[in-house]
């Protein structure tokens, strides 16, 4: 689905005026700076420059009668004097004048003045006040930090929800490609909030909760953002993990604060993303569960449908794990409606690809409908990644537009992984891989109930040394038993081909055997496709999360478990025998496909079909047979 940027948002909790808080924070430092400037600047600013002469010249001027006034500092011995012509000069003499100098000064015609300057207030008290002031400033700073920490502790229980107002519409339903049925159900919630009178006249009540369920990447959060843009009412958005902290009771406090904030707004929508992080089943796991999570869930249940009503408040949530949610959360009155957001169908994929293709230079040879047909099972996020990977591939090839081959390369990279061209394989390993993939391809091409063969390659990609790719022609929602059995035969093709050609098995069939065994287990235990076991199902035995049903016993007896194991083995052995017979009957085609893979490394499904026809004696395919021959 189209990924849209979040609209501007702000926190529900009100913040202080930043101008006032900034002024109060800097005021003490401004006062301190002013005091320091008042003390230091007079001492460092340049004053009036006065010429300084030696003391003996000063005495000579006294004798000559050239000095009019003399001022002597008793503390420093500095002498400032002014000549008869008005010139100001200074000198430094002894602090205690000799008797001769005193007699010389007293006999001169100059005006003599002795002064003893007293220290100022700051010069007297600054050495005492400065340490005291620094101590007071230190304790004031400690007090402010303590107050800030207490403020943080007091606000830890406040909700972290973001409020999207009607002035910031952001994403709308027009930005959500496909999913017409999902948008129709969601639109009913929006219509109720915007046109509540129409529903009230009939007596209809809006669901209190809407749960969006679907695989990852299908656009559940995007749909919620679209509701925020369409609703015309405040929209509070929060994730499930925002409720959890190390302090017990914080989650419940944040839930209360969230609903109080919503009630103050009147009509509002609350959206909780990944609700399974706080909505898991209570009492599950070792020790009875997570107490803080359960308290948070209990508070949420009470707020949604407790004694205190929440009229006008609609709660939305999204999860891809609905099986682990607490049943009390899913009952009517809480999450009344569950809306499934599935993987997109063919038409939806086509619309999603068009949305993501906007703004990109797409070549004329690209048919997005063909791309949509070749991407079954991909989510909206996968399709967005597909278009982006194709654009990156075009840039690497110095192309001015995204071509069809770029989309093909991008799809192969997503489905099969990045090609590992640097992986060095021996000639024997390449031959084994070629026959392994040829066995898969031959079975896929000859069996009637398999998906069409698209491509075969022996170029290492991702964790695989070779890949056989099949693409369905149309969407499938149910799978018949003959389709599953043929799929098992295709999975066995690689291992059986190696045994036929080389007479020995290898480790290359590990993933094939794991997938085949898992598929056979489901046939016996879940789908009732075993005559011996009969129409019985025990579901998936894997644990959804650690601790769930940890102490629960097995649902069937040891004898039934033995029968299940025997039936799984019987199915796998039967399909392996069918695969071996098919490959023995078409040994020439197997050799041709393997030789073509060794020479060309990658061949298409159509080329495989022509090679099979050539092996069966079709005269129109001789050139294809020649192309499969290694020089």
**Which residues have a catalytic role annotated?**
437
For residue 176, what are the CA distances in angstroms to 141, 254, 339, 368?
A: 53, 31, 16, 18
- Provide φ and ψ at 31, rounded to 5°: -65, -45
d(CA 197, CA 202): 9
CA distance 315 to 273: 11
Rounded CA-CA distance 245/242 in Å is 8
Q: Under a CB-based contact definition with an 8 Å cutoff, are residues 375 and 350 in contact?
A: no
Q: Count other C-beta atoms under 10 Å from residue 76's C-beta.
A: 11
Distance CA 236, CA 243 (A): 14
For the purposes of burial, counting CB atoms within 10 Å of the CB of 426, is it exposed (0-12), middle (13-18) or buried (19 or more)?
A: exposed
Q: Which of 416, 365, 361, 364 is nearest to 387 (CA)?
A: 361
CA distance 242 to 548: 24
Under a CB-based contact definition with an 8 Å cutoff, are residues 406 and 399 in contact?
A: yes
Give yes or no for a contact between 271 and 235, defined as CB atoms under 8 angstroms apart. yes
Q: How far is CA 561 from CA 521, 526, 548, in A?
A: 11, 13, 22
Going by C-alpha positions, the residue among 350, 367, 386, 383 that lies closest to residue 475 is 350
């Amino acid at each position: 689905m189209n990924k849209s940027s979040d609209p501007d948002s702000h926190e529900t909790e009100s913040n202080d005026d930043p101008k006032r808080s900034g002024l109060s924070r800097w005021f003490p430092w401004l006062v301190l700076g002013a005091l320091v400037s008042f003390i230091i600047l007079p001492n460092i600013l340049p004053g009036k420059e006065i010429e300084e002469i030696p003391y003996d010249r000063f005495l000579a001027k006294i004798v000559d009668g050239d000095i009019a006034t003399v001022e002597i500092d008793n503390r420093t011995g500095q002498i400032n004097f002014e000549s008869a012509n008005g010139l100001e000069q200074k000198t430094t003499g002894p602090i205690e004048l000799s008797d001769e100098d005193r007699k010389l000064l007293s006999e001169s015609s100059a005006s003599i003045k002795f002064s003893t300057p007293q220290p100022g207030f700051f010069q007297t008290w600054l050495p005492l006040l400065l340490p005291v002031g620094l101590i007071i400033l230190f304790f004031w700073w400690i007090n402010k930090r303590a107050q800030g920490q207490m403020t943080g502790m007091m606000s830890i229980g406040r909700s972290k929800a973001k409020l999207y107002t009607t002035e910031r519409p952001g994403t709308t339903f027009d930005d959500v490609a496909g999913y017409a049925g999902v948008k129709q159900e969601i639109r009913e919630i929006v219509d109720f909030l915007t046109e509540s009178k129409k529903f009230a006249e009939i007596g209809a009540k809006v669901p209190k909760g809407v749960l969006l369920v679907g695989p990852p990447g299908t656009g559940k959060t995007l749909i919620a953002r679209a509701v925020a843009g369409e609703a015309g009412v405040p929209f509070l958005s929060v994730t499930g993990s925002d409720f959890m902290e190390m302090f017990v009771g914080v989650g419940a406090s944040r839930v209360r604060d969230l609903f109080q904030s919503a009630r103050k707004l009147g009509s509002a929508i609350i959206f909780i993303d990944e609700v399974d992080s706080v909505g898991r089943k209570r009492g599950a796991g070792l020790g009875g569960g997570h107490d803080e999570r359960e308290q948070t869930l209990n508070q949420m249940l009470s707020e949604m449908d407790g004694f205190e009503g929440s009229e006008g408040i609609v709660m939305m949530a999204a999860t891809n794990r609905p099986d682990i949610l607490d049943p009390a959360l899913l009952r009517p009155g809480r999450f009344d409606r569950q809306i499934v957001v599935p993987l997109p169908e063919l038409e939806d994929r086509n619309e999603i690809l068009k949305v993501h293709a906007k703004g990109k230079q797409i070549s004329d040879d690209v048919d997005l409908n063909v791309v949509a047909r070749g991407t079954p099972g991909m989510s909206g996020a996968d399709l967005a990644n597909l278009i982006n990977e194709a654009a990156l591939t075009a840039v690497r090839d110095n192309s001015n537009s995204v071509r069809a081959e770029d989309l093909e390369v991008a799809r192969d990279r997503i489905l099969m992984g990045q090609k590992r061209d640097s992986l060095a394989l021996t000639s024997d390993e390449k031959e084994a891989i070629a026959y392994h993939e040829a066995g898969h391809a031959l079975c896929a091409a000859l069996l009637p109930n398999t998906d069409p063969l698209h491509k075969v390659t022996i170029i290492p990609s991702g964790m695989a040394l070779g890949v056989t790719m099949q693409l369905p022609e149309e969407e499938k929602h149910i799978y018949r038993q003959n389709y599953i059995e043929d799929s098992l035969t295709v999975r066995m093709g690689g291992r059986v081909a190696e045994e036929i050609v080389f007479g020995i098995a290898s480790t290359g069939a590990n993933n094939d055997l794991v997938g085949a065994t898992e598929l056979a287990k489901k046939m016996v235990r879940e789908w009732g496709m075993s005559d011996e076991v009969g129409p019985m199902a025990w579901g998936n035995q894997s644990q959804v999360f650690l601790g769930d049903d940890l102490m629960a016993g097995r649902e069937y007896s040891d004898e039934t478990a033995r029968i299940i194991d025997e039936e799984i083995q019987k199915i796998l052995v039967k399909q392996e025998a069918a695969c071996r017979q098919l490959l023995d009957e078409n040994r020439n085609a197997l050799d041709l496909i393997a030789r073509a893979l060794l020479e060309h490394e990658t061949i298409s499904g159509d080329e495989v079909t022509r090679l099979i026809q050539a092996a069966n004696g079709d005269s129109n395919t001789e050139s294809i047979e020649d192309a499969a021959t290694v020089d």
